[in-house]
């Protein structure tokens, strides 16, 4: 099937895939490529345009990533964002130097040219900056389109009309008119028709999976969350009875999680589901461990052992499917040539030892959470499953900020269950992107009845986001928070205080560990 393609050359930006996602929101297919991609490959794809992403490097640093300078010979428009603007401008002859005043955060953009890229935008708008270098001097081949108080060339156009550069980040939500800028580039500059849909992704993925696995059996690590559920549904559509799902009960699950998974997938969808009861082994290995990264590594290693114990019994199993999403990949860093910095470990990203003999199938690897939900809706999954909040692979272990014990897990399960019940009853569940309870490693003095108590503290964390790369805390009505706190303190033995986390991401993360 012939389709329009926007190639995104990723220089290691934390927002690289976010750019791809924003392009797809405008119904134009996009794909990320490493800076080493050759012009011949892009020409073969018949790309409609190219976007050069931002990145953490300086264009003058040793081993600074660059791209094939012949991309400007393809005859298609190129948009450089932040580092991408700098490297593109440098290739075309402009001078790049460290900025006298580094810009980070929201700033005001004054637009001087409202044709093409800034069509329909006001003279002044807010943009999100994050840079140390900037264009210092333009040649006569360039025209300045916009400026900020400290960046005279915040947006430029080459006289050929084939290169545009913006020093700010139009892909992030902190740039309010960023979507309009990208849309102008895609439609007015590149001439895209915008006919790509999520159904295209599903059909292409089904075809690719069938080609990849042939007649072999595929094992899917099922957790009951949105990602693994959509993965299982996609695979079931592609290969039917060749799919076998394994659910590992690691003892770190939410309340009634196992029963729900078995009822939904084994009973309702009639998928071949194998449950592995491995909770005692997980808790034994985690005994006394408090470091969050060690917890993740232990859980990842033990998960493989549990999984292998069941997978070894399944005939003709050659592939393992995982619900890995792009935020998992980009935040793990340094995978498959990824230039982005490592933020955290995920046991489902590259965590499968080669000695197990499985080849990975990761059909959702290039998607964000909201895109996964669209796939789930297209496949006809139940609403309560498609819109379920994310739950980390290590489970409640990374929501207990101390060593893991059965009594602590029991406390956190009940608190978490009350939180979800109350935000659902208040009609807030769909508005909130992720809600969780955290058991803090401190005790506080309280009064329970006529006696002093010294018991646990529960922190509540509710955030709203579209991409899970950035997030703001949810403004839950005080009466709802009060009801949640009252129920937890009164119904969960061992808790005498509840607090609410009002941090944003960044600088905080969504999970506490």
Write down the residue that tokens 């430029």 correspond to. Answer: 156
> Mind telling me the catalytic residues?
82, 169, 171
Give the helix/strand (H/E) hosting 460: strand 451-464
Separation CA 293–CA 279 (nearest Å): 20
DSSP 8-class letter at 505 = B
Tokens (6 digits) for 301? 């290693």
Buried b (16+ CB within 10 A) or exposed e, 493-506: ebbbbbeeeeeebe
CA–CA dist 20, 308 (Å, integer): 35
Strand partners, 357: none
Residue labelled with tokens 């499968």 = 352
- Ranges of beta strands (E only) in 138-260 are 142-148, 151-158, 163-166, 217-221, 243-249
CA atoms within 13 A on the CB side of 84: 29
Using DSSP's 3-state secondary structure scheme, residue 230 falls into helix
Rounded Cα distance, 474 and 466, in Å = 13
What's the rounded Cα separation, in Å, for the pair 470 and 451? 44
Torsion of CA 252, 257, 262, 268, to 10 degrees: -150
Q: Are 429 and 423 in contact (CB under 8 A)?
A: yes
**Per-residue exposure over 57-94, b if at least 16 CB sit within 10 Å of its own CB, e if not:** bebeeeebbbbbeebbebebbbbbbbbbbbbbbbbbeb
Structural tokens at position 403: 């060593």
Query: How far apart, in whole angstroms, are the C-alpha atoms of residue 35 and residue 10?
Result: 6
From residue 390, give the alpha-carbon distance in Å to each of 81, 204, 373, 394, 503: 31, 26, 11, 12, 18
Q: Looking at the chain, how many residues does it have? A: 513
Residue 27: CB atoms within 10 Å: 16
Instruction: Give the residue carrying structure tokens 């040219």.
Output: 113
From the centroid of its chain, how far is CA 244? 26
Q: Can you list the pairs that 135-141 forms with residues at least 24 positions away whose Cβ atoms lie under 8 Å?
A: 135/85, 135/86, 135/89, 135/94, 135/95, 135/96, 135/165, 135/167, 136/94, 136/95, 136/96, 136/97, 137/94, 137/95, 138/89, 138/94, 138/95, 139/92, 139/93, 139/94, 141/92, 141/93
């Amino acid at each position: 099937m012939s389709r329009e393609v926007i190639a995104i050359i990723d220089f290691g930006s934390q927002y690289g895939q976010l750019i791809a996602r924003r392009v797809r929101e405008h119904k134009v297919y996009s794909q990320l490529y490493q800076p080493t991609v050759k012009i011949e490959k892009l020409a073969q794809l018949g790309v409609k345009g190219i976007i050069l992403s931002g990145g953490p490097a300086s264009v003058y640093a040793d081993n600074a990533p660059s791209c094939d300078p012949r991309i400007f010979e393809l005859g298609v428009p190129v948009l450089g964002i932040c580092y991408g603007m700098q490297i593109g401008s440098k290739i075309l002859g402009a001078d790049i130097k460290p900025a006298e005043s580094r810009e980070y955060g929201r700033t005001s953009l004054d637009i001087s040219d409202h044709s093409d890229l800034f069509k329909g935008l006001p003279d002044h708008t807010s943009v999100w900056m994050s840079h140390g270098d900037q264009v210092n001097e333009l040649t006569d081949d360039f025209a300045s389109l916009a400026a900020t108080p400290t960046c005279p060339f915040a947006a430029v156009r080459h006289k050929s009309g084939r290169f545009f550069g913006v020093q700010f980040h139009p892909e992030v939500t902190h740039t309010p008119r960023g979507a309009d800028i990208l849309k102008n580039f895609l439609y007015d500059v590149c001439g895209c028709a915008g006919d790509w849909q999520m159904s295209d992704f599903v059909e292409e993925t089904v075809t690719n999976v069938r080609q990849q696995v042939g007649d072999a059996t595929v094992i899917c690590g099922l957790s009951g969350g949105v990602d693994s559920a959509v993965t299982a549904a996609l695979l079931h559509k592609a290969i039917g009875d060749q799919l076998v799902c394994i659910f590992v009960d690691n003892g770190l699950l939410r309340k009634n999680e196992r029963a729900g998974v078995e009822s939904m997938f084994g009973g309702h969808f009639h998928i071949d589901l194998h449950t592995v009861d491995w909770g005692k082994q997980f808790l034994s290995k985690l005994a006394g461990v408090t470091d969050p990264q060690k917890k993740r590594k232990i859980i990842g290693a033990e998960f493989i052992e549990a999984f292998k114990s069941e997978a070894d019994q399944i005939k003709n199993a050659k592939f393992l499917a995982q619900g890995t999403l792009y935020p998992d990949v980009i935040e793990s860093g340094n995978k498959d040539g990824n230039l982005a910095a490592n933020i955290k470990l995920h046991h489902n990203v590259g965590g499968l030892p080669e000695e197990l003999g499985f080849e990975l199938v990761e059909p959702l690897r290039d998607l964000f959470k909201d895109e996964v939900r669209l796939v789930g809706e297209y496949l006809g999954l139940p609403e309560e499953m498609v819109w379920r909040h994310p739950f980390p692979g290590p489970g409640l272990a990374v929501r207990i900020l101390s060593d893991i014990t059965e009594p602590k897990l029991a406390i956190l399960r009940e608190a978490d269950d009350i939180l979800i019940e109350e935000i659902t009853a208040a009609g807030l569940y769909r508005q909130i992107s992720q809600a969780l309870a955290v058991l803090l490693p401190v005790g506080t003095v309280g009064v329970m009845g006529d006696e002093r108590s010294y018991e646990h503290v529960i922190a509540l964390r509710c955030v709203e986001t579209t991409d899970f790369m950035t997030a703001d805390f949810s403004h839950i009505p005080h009466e709802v928070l009060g009801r949640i706190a009252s129920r937890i303190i009164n119904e969960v033995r061992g808790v005498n205080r509840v607090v609410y986390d009002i941090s944003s991401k960044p600088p905080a993360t969504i999970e506490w560990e």
